[in-house]
Structure 1
Amino acid sequence: MKAKYIAKHGYTIYIPGFDDIIKIGFEKPITAEETREWKRKNWGYFTPERYQELKYMKKKRKERFLAMLGSPTPAMVSARASLLTAVDDLQDALSTLSAVGIVAARSAPPQIKGVVTVGAGMVMTAARCMDILTEVMSPEKILLSKKRALDGSTEANPFTKKGQTSIKKQVWKAKIKRGTAFEALQVSEGIFGIGISLGAIMNAPIDIIAGNIRMVTGANVRVKYPIPDWRIWVKRAAKFAKSMTNAYALRFDCDDTE
């Protein structure tokens, strides 16, 4: 399928837009009933507002599919990128879990404080192991950073004495770094659909490099920039304003009841 698509349309470099990176969940996910009625083309089943929402969601889904088909990045590189993304997602989840463990260890009763502290330390160690695995799988990062060369002597490596001391201090002092909060947003996007998705940002530079290489070899390569659908954003703004109005009304009702 990919070969046929490229033969007809050429390669396409997709530049990610706001909705590709920031996941807020403006639109309600499509339900099984809506999927069934959409396949039947029973447009009367949907309200005009919901129809426009579903149309936009399906358009974005199609764009993501075409971006995968038209990507100039070789399949082998894409496979490695997918594996790196999976490892990074696991590292983010472990970092978030360790942050929760840090807070729990700080506020836990004395009877279980030691157990919670050990558990948080083990999770934090696993998170750092995943971080090292990502570095090992990305040797090209050596050109950008000396991190791997310094891992043996800095607190980033959980297998060194300094790294183990850093983990203990971070657990006992309940020190949560800003990066952990950023990772938590990535994890929440995967679980709740609200947060940050960095996959599009990480893939874009690879596609740009691969696209330029293919362009030099004579291949047909085009760039597709994100064009915001202002109608959707107007509807989102109206929905947000309505929800805020309802929230204030509910607050005043509660005050009157008291």
Structure 2
Amino acid sequence: MVPGIGCGRRRRAGGVACVDVVALLGIGLLTGVTTVLFGFGGGFVAVPVVVWTDSALGADAIRVATATSALVMVVNAAFATAVTPRRVLAALRGGGPLLVLLGVGAAAGALAARHAPAGLIRWAFVAYVALTVVDLLLRPGFLRPRAPAEAAPGTPRPLPAAVGAPVGAVAAFLGVGGSVMTVPAMRRAGHTMHVATALANPLTLAIALPAAAVFLGGSGDPAGAHPHLALVGLVDLRAAGALLLGALPVIAVLRRRPPHIPDRLYAWTYVALLAAVAVAMVL
């Protein structure tokens, strides 16, 4: 068990009960899978369950969930990037300006999230993910690639640096991570799902690191009346710890033995996962 997580039969005001720990560990395992297979470092998958476990915070739960997911993404994306083959990461060679602008945008987005109305963040999250699903279903290039499925390793088509700041800002503000935007863009640039999702991890790290630094700063409990929550800044360290405890072993195993998934099925599964998370946030 993660140190400091309460495990009574009932959840105390602002506390985390056994059922929450089990849910967090389970979602952590899922984020490990999505980190490796889809480039989701835990962001939008983790947000709904942290909103649920920290529901005692009321409207502020979405802010804490966004901040907590940023810290989870830092660790998951860093670990996944470290064990990604160098030949795959070579596609980002020369992408320094893009990474810098992603970080700058993320810092701005995280600052905005600290002060924005909680309801705005929640419904903007749902709207963005829903619009992304519609875009992936209707616009050619993701489910129906225009280019051949395999992109030549020597001729990668990187994302333009100019998209870095807006992508970083939106990703950090909503807590979705960069993969929700970068994977479709890289897919439409001709990369396979395998390559696009692997490259999403270092891009997510560039977004999550400055965002997490912003969220960790400042005051702790946003509601000022929840001493049982282990908040540092806006980050719930107990929830983050449980999520990471479930995720990291899965990342280690799947990176060594990645499953073979047909490219088209891979793309459809990505869309289905986004749709499921949007529904979870609405409910």
TM-score (norm 2): 0.25
Q: Which has more radius of gyration?
A: 1
